[in-house]
Structure 1
Amino acid sequence: MKLLNFLRRNKIKNWRVSQDYELRATLEFMDSDFFRARAQEIHSGQRNASVGFFDDILLKEFFDGKETYFKEFIAHITNRACLDIGPCVATPLKSWDVTNEKFVIEPLFDTINNWQIENYGFSLYEGIKCYPIPAENRIEELVGKIDGVIYCRNCIDHTPHWPFILSNISHYAKSGCKLMLWNDLFHGEGVDDGHYNITEAPENFSQLIEALGFHVVREFRDFNRLSVNWGCFAEKK
């Protein structure tokens, strides 16, 4: 086992290798019966906030399971600019139809968008301005622009350059902007090509978010996962 871990650690592993790993998993997932059905629900508007829909997973992770918190959040993002970083196959911004402007940063966007149009007959990114670049690269036109929410779930551990994503998030958010952030932080030894370890100490990561100018309102950890993970609902000071 030690020999296998040694060999895995000495493989060439970088951002491009990790993106190739993610793309293979993404294409397989989009072709699953589960996601094909989910894509139809999103595209048809069944999951829109304007018709009262809320997602149970997001309610648990970011709103302490309380519908009242979610309704307050929807009121906040109404007619505001919102950003999703690293959504991969779909973004909740599509269903948060009360927003004014929607932005997505997804390096695999072009391939995902074309695949969905070819196989579904539509894209789940219609009506959203998408940047098909690494989230580590700052987009100057987004600096100080986002006043609704920045949503970033299960993204930053897919790149060795994750600190720069957090830095950009801080620069994009206006005062009062909400942050919905959740991620695996530590996967253990011998982590695969698509993921990177960040820290074994969620409390240190929470302090980092505060240092970047956010007030952490609620925290969440999924103790049923084998990985160390941490998430928060926060607000830019």
Structure 2
Amino acid sequence: MEGQEVKLLGARFSIFAHRVEWVLKLKGIEYEVVEEDLTNKSPLLLNYNPIYKKVPVLLHHGNAIAESLVIIEYIDDTWKQNPIFPQDPYERATVRFWSKFVEEKVTDVIRRAMFLEGEQQEEEVKQAQDALLVLEGELMKGKKKFFGGDMIGVLDIVLGWITIWLGAVEEAACFKVLDPCKYPCIGKWMERFVELPVIKANSPPKDQLVPFFQKFRELGLALAAKK
């Protein structure tokens, strides 16, 4: 029916767009990807996300939903099969808390570190390592296969980018956040996560990510030097 098709405005190497794709695939939802060039943003993107002007944006029933965590919850509320969020209100609140923790203490911190050097970079890397130790403890508590239990849930999806993207970022920016010996539970979790068919079939190869992040970092450092 017209107006009910699902479209995703995304970008090939965006961790945030891939999160949404993983959930769409897990739910078995048919969708179309509209690939965005983030160096030359389309009128479509600027029209549907005029506030942040970034991907991902989900288009459904003619409505636009922006921000990956918001989109994931919208998808889970709209399509009930293969739930990503727990049904219990307390458990839902708990995974929202930890999802916010991952975004602020891991994702945002590592993204900042990518555009820093020397002591400033080391400080951000240490923050990310401390946050990963906290998450290591959460996995150890229940001796869980995934943060969602026996099946992946929203927190696995939110942190899932570290399984592929983090190694590429580390190589591109010449720092090391994740030592599997220091984080054995996270290391095993990563192995399980990347072997899931949906994840394996819908993630970019690392050899393409490294040059992308090298150029991305060089551009960011050049822009910072001009200020």
Q: Do these two structures clear the TM 0.5 threshold for a shared fold by scoring above it? A: no
Which is richer in strand? 1
Give me the TM-score of the superposition, normalised by structure 2.
0.27
TM norm structure 1:
0.26
